[in-house]
Amino acid sequence: MSGDVIRDVFTAVLVLLSAFLCFAAGVGLIRFRDVLSRLHSSTKPQILGLMAIVADVVVANPSVATITLALAIVFFQSLTAPIAAHMLGRAAFRTDHFRRDILVVDEVSPLSGSSRSHSSDE
Amino acid sequence: MSVVIVIAGLLFGAGAVAALWRIIRGPSALDRIIASDVLIATAMCAVGAEMAINRHTDNLPVLLVLALFTVVGSVSVARFISTRDDT
């Protein structure tokens, strides 16, 4: 009986953590000012929220099939979400969809300057 | 437990509405695709929360397919925006 209570508390804590991360991503999407900072807020529920909720499903009903599918879900999400974030950030940088005045450090412009002048000869 | 369900539903709903507002109002296409990624992640977390609360695993293949294929839209939009700048 006490194990059931512990499992319920664990489920509730992980569900609330994931819901809070989704809410924080929404607030960040509204409040932040350019594409790069919105990208920063949007990647929180994609990895940590999904890991919390998948661990939650595994705790709620543990079996070999559930654990295998959960590991596959976390693996593929952590494989594809950084790719998407990287591509979106690169597209935002190349098309100047960010504010240079709120940028703290810019390590890409000296590098992409040479490659851009090289590729603008097309 | 019902209190947890209500609070989690409110938080998921608020996040989804914020993402939807950014999809509608986003100044550029990159904002819209980022907000749609957040909307999909919120939907995945909500489906998983329903599975965890009701103690079943019927929708785990849905999560697997979403984890595999949501990258396609973002990457294709990012590729085509990099080559054509109009917003």
Which residues of chain A lie closer than 8 angstroms to B57, CB-CB? 57, 61, 65-66, 69
Q: Could you count the other beta carbons within 10 Å of the beta carbon of residue B72?
A: 11
Contacts of A84 in chain B (CB under 8 A): 37, 70-71, 74-75, 78
Please determine, for residue B79, whether its predicted confidence score (pLDDT) is greater than 70.
Answer: yes
* This prediction's pTM: 0.87
> CA distances (Å), A74 to each of A6, A49, A118, B25, B67, in order?
24, 11, 39, 31, 8
Task: Check CB contact under 8 Å for A45 and B38.
Answer: yes
Q: How large is the ipTM?
A: 0.88
Contact in structure between A16 and B9 (CB atoms under 8 Å): no
**Distance (Å, whole) CA B12 – CA A19:** 5
Mind listing the domains of chain B with CATH numbers?
A: 2-86 (1.10.287)
Shortest distance, CA B53 to any CA of chain A (angstroms): 7
H/E run at residue A12: helix A2-31
Q: What is the average pLDDT value for chain A, to the nearest integer?
A: 85
* pLDDT reading at B34 higher than 60: yes
Record: contact A84-B74, CB cut-off 8 A: yes
The 10s digit of each residue's pLDDT in B2-15 is 899 999 999 999 99
